[in-house]
Homo-oligomer: A and B are copies of this chain.
Amino acid sequence: MNYLYINNKKYKFEKGNSLLNIIQLNKLGMESPCGGKGTCGKCKIKVVDGSVDDLTDEELKFLNKEELKNNVRLGCLVYPKGDITAEFIKSEDKNHKILTEGYMPEFNKSPMLSKKAFKLNKPTLENNISLEEILEKQNININNDYDILKSIPSIFEKDNCTVVYLDEKVIGIECEDTTENLYSIALDIGTTTVVASLIDINKQCEIDCESDINPQKEYGLDVLSRINFAKTNENGLEILNKSIIDCINSLIIKLCEKNNINKENIYELAVAANTTMMHILLKINPNSIGKAPYSPVFISGKSIKAMDLGINISSFGRAYLLPGVSSYIGADIVSGICVCDLHKTKKNILFIDIGTNGEIVVSKNSELSSCSCAAGPALEGMNISCGMRAGEGAIENIKIGEFIETKVIGNTKPKGLCGSGIIDAISEMARLKLIGSTGRINKKSMIEKDNNLKHLSENIIDENKKRRFVLDTQNPQIAITQSDIRQVQLAKGAILSGFYALLNSMNIDIKDLDEVIIAGQFGKHLSVQSLVGVGIIPKELKEKIRYIGNSSKTGAIMTLLSKDIRKEMECIAKDISYCELSTEEGYERLFTDCLKF
């Protein structure tokens, strides 16, 4: 048995594991967006002492001279041969900005959850029927619920009780009159972020909201990497599951403490999430989602005891999982469709949730069709040489004119670019023809010949047969590389071709579209200029774009406030057809066409 020494602690490991693997199995908190395949370069770690293999070519791609000098390596490519001492590289992941507000339509409020107080009858010697029967005679039917049965003796110690109903069904009984306290939580579990809203069911409104980064990001940035992590590690699924459950519980505690609420008075949790996140939440093996024929284990709506999931709300509280459509059109999208009334519209509407996975829905006079495309994490600033999350020091907006103007989160010295910054940059480069339609950065010599651009020629740098565009010649570390452009190009190509394929399959011409709705946390940060500039959305739709915000969360809130909405969601999920792009005829050619700027 060997030991890893890190953070002044030691951890056992068996030879044959990568350093990343050892760190993740011990839950020490290390990100691996690509899932440990050596392709993202994000699992950098300093090897202080111990025998390891020589540097690989893959690592050389991601490490600069300073790092090489300091013995920095990629954790996923280092296999310790014996005891090893390592040090983490400082992360820059604090002060994240997450969008939690959003548009909510008008709807009829009729919550599933309700409470009613009762004065309890008591048995007498003349009528000593069972306590269960006394409740039945007061119309409190506990059916076959063992947990409620166990609570009956303590309930009868008092004169009054409160019955908690979900729809018409008794889910729990509490001592005394507690009708004043009736809360639920709406939860949006994104691949990247988790948002929790506290809902007062009596007042029928949202009273607070908290959010956090999805801690599963350590084990892969996109759903496929996480599915792979669950598959290739013995306790992989348990680790992923525990990390999201812990995250949810800590958000609940935060909301309770801030609002002076007892978590025992939270009785329901409505969850909107993509299909993989739902599987992991229920600790259900998501393996089938990741390989052909891409069948999920379940997509229907579920109501499960929160306690069975390890979620700490009322001991008899329930978790309601919104229904999804398929492996890649999840409950988060169904939620968004419902928020936008896409299932009721008379218009032709395109709904698009831009993220690591792009989900696209078209409503043609309320007939719904959907597709999804693997955009990859580039649009979110991942797999990008200077990419970073939308945290302090991230360039989030760029304008290239006489000078290059940048807007940095936190107004500090820039450290890198977040997703919107990258898209802005490439959009501007395309507009100014610094890049050609194939995506290639034009030669310095060509730029110098163009009067409008020649002031930017110094920003073009050729080195080691690679070309990059630096944003600030004084700070040449921050740049857009040819490879970054390729990554964004692939993402744009995937989304745009999905969009066209879906319109084709529904026989809608692009000019017949009445509206383009941009949903999701991330989409909100992309300006119309950027979206159109980089070519994710065709120019002719520029005036028709509307941002809807986090419609996944909003839909979850609506299911808590309305039984009807819950039924509607079930209908929507059943009625959407799903278009599998990979089997669509001519899709490959369409995709290639869509790569062009």
A: residues with CB less than 8 A from B are 123-134, 144, 146, 149-150, 152-154, 156, 282-285, 287-288, 292-300, 302-305, 308, 326-327, 580, 582-583
The count of identical subunits is: 2
Specify the chain B residue showing the minimal Cβ separation from A153.
B285
List of B residues within 8 angstroms of A327 by Cβ: 128
A127 to B578, CA, bound (A): 10
List of B residues within 8 angstroms of A133 by Cβ: 299-300
A582 to B126, CA, bound (A): 11
A296 near B130 with CB under 8 A, answer: yes
List of B residues within 8 angstroms of A282 by Cβ: 146, 149-150
A480 to B553, CA, bound (A): 80
A297 near B132 with CB under 8 A, answer: yes
User: How far apart are A275's CB and chain B's nearest CB, in angstroms?
Assistant: 9
B153 near A288 with CB under 8 A, answer: yes
List of B residues within 8 angstroms of A144 by Cβ: 302-304
Specify the chain B residue showing the minimal Cβ separation from A123.
B295
Contacts known (A295-B131, A304-B144); A583 close to B284, Cβ less than 8 A: no
A288 to B285, CA, bound (A): 46
A134 to B303, CA, bound (A): 20
User: How far apart are A306's CB and chain B's nearest CB, in angstroms?
Assistant: 11
User: How far apart are A142's CB and chain B's nearest CB, in angstroms?
Assistant: 9
A300 near B146 with CB under 8 A, answer: no
List of B residues within 8 angstroms of A298 by Cβ: 130-132, 149, 152
List of B residues within 8 angstroms of A129 by Cβ: 295
List of B residues within 8 angstroms of A287 by Cβ: 153
List of B residues within 8 angstroms of A303 by Cβ: 144
A156 to B296, CA, bound (A): 12
Residue in B293, B297, B582 whose beta carbon sits within 8 Å of that of A152 in the complex: B297
B128 near A284 with CB under 8 A, answer: no
| 30 A-B contacts (beta carbon < 8 Å) | A123-B288, A123-B295, A124-B293, A125-B293, A127-B293, A128-B293, A128-B294, A128-B327, A129-B295, A130-B295, A130-B297, A130-B298, A131-B295, A131-B296, A131-B298, A132-B297, A132-B298, A132-B299, A132-B300, A134-B295, A144-B304, A146-B302, A149-B282, A150-B282, A150-B283, A152-B284, A153-B284, A153-B287, A153-B288, A156-B288
User: How far apart are A59's CB and chain B's nearest CB, in angstroms?
Assistant: 36
User: How far apart are A397's CB and chain B's nearest CB, in angstroms?
Assistant: 40
Output the residue of A127, A130, A154, A300 with the most chain B CB within 10 A.
A130
B128 near A326 with CB under 8 A, answer: yes
List of B residues within 8 angstroms of A150 by Cβ: 282-284
B149 near A297 with CB under 8 A, answer: yes
